[in-house]
Amino acid sequence: MTTYIARPIAPVVLKELRSADDGGRRMVPGTDTEGGAPLRCCLRRSDPGERIALVSYAPLRRWAAENGADPGAYDEQGPVFVHADECAGPDTDALPFTNAHRTVRRYSADGRILGGRLVEDATGFEPSFAEAFADPGVALVHVRAVEYGCFLYEVRRP
């Protein structure tokens, strides 16, 4: 079995997002009183009392800029939670946020959506990634929440 690695938002990108997000807005940090927010910087849920922020993030746009691609109309940005201050990043290689329905959305090297798969439980991720990367046209996949469509993390070829 191949192990697929969830990629958090890179530290250099987090630094940019904490200054001005991909929508051009300044970060507005707050104290999470309830906990449970899916943090994209360390790929875990927040704890009560942590300082977090909701920022606008354009993962495909940033990937496309690094790879000389133009995602065209597939370019989108949306809200993600991050720690308001620098954090250590993930403390495990385990796939995060596998406790609910997710979509595994496939993208080509030119930034176009090639399809996707609904994953209903934690056992569906490995086969969905294997299926996606069996297609040589797939450059990366995004794992997204079904209920809001939010970007959770990216997976690239092993």
CB-count burial class (<10 Å; 0-12, 13-18, 19+) for 108: middle
User: Is 94 domain-assigned?
Assistant: no
User: Is 5 domain-assigned?
Assistant: no
Domain shared by 65 and 122, yes or no: no
Task: Provide the mean pLDDT of the chain.
Answer: 95
User: Is 19 domain-assigned?
Assistant: yes
Instruction: From residue 13, give the alpha-carbon distance in Å to each of 21, 62, 112, 126, 147.
Output: 9, 9, 22, 27, 26
Residue 157: what pLDDT?
A: 86
User: Is 3 domain-assigned?
Assistant: no
Domain shared by 144 and 107, yes or no: yes
Note whether 154 and 59 are within 8 A (CB). yes
User: Is 96 domain-assigned?
Assistant: no
User: Is 91 domain-assigned?
Assistant: no
Range of the domain at 65: 11-83
User: Is 92 domain-assigned?
Assistant: no
Q: Could you tell me what percent of the chain has a pLDDT over 70?
A: 99
Categorize the per-residue pLDDT at 55 as very low, low, confident or very high, splitting at 50, 70 and 90: very high
Summarised one tens digit per residue, pLDDT across range 8-50 is 999 999 999 999 999 999 999 999 999 999 999 999 999 999 9
Last residue of a domain, one of 52, 83, 114: 83
Domain shared by 75 and 133, yes or no: no
Residue 110: what pLDDT?
A: 94
How many domains does the structure of the chain reveal? 2
User: Is 61 domain-assigned?
Assistant: yes
